[in-house]
Amino acid sequence: MPAIANITVKKNDNTTDIVWTGVSPSAGDGVPAIWRSQTVGNAAAHQPELRLSAKEGSNGGKRVMRVTYVYPQISTNTTTGVTSVVDKMVFAGDWQLPKTMAAADVNEASSQLANLVASALLKDCIKSGFSAT
């Protein structure tokens, strides 16, 4: 099992690095590991968050993983100075990893999935709110 560590990614400008800090490792099956982008906001509720959990599938033949990503929209009231969350962009996804799949196939499928999500086309689709036409 991988140990929790900070994750560095590029911002939208494709130049600036953002560190997502590993704030809580998974405590076991079904309990998510949690990362936060602590460079945003002054409270945990204001910070983007990534959660990843894994557990046994219902038939025992697969590992089931769930990822959730929440990016809050924050606003500061100019009269009171209070910052609050006004909305959130949310992503949730599940995948099932067959225990009988060869490691080479798991590695290839995992790398291609991550690279597809990181591709310029999928980024543009997500930014626009529309699928490719």
Q: Tell me which H or E stretch contains 10.
A: strand 7-10
Beta pairing partners, 52: 33, 67
For the stretch 29-67, pLDDT in tens is 999 999 999 988 889 999 999 999 999 998 889 999 999
Q: For residue 54, how many other CB atoms are within 10 A of its CB?
A: 19
Please give the Cα distance from 87 to 102 (Å, whole number). Answer: 42
For the stretch 59-89, pLDDT in tens is 889 999 999 999 999 999 999 999 999 999 9
Q: Which long-range contacts (CB under 8 A, 24 or more apart) does 122-128 make?
A: none
The CATH class that applies to domain 7-100 reads alpha beta
Number of DSSP helices (H) and strands (E) in the chain, helices first: 2, 6
Q: What is the mean pLDDT of the chain?
A: 94
Lookup: tokens for 120: 């310029």
Domain-wise residue ranges, the chain: 7-100, 101-133
- How much is the average pLDDT of 3-31? 95
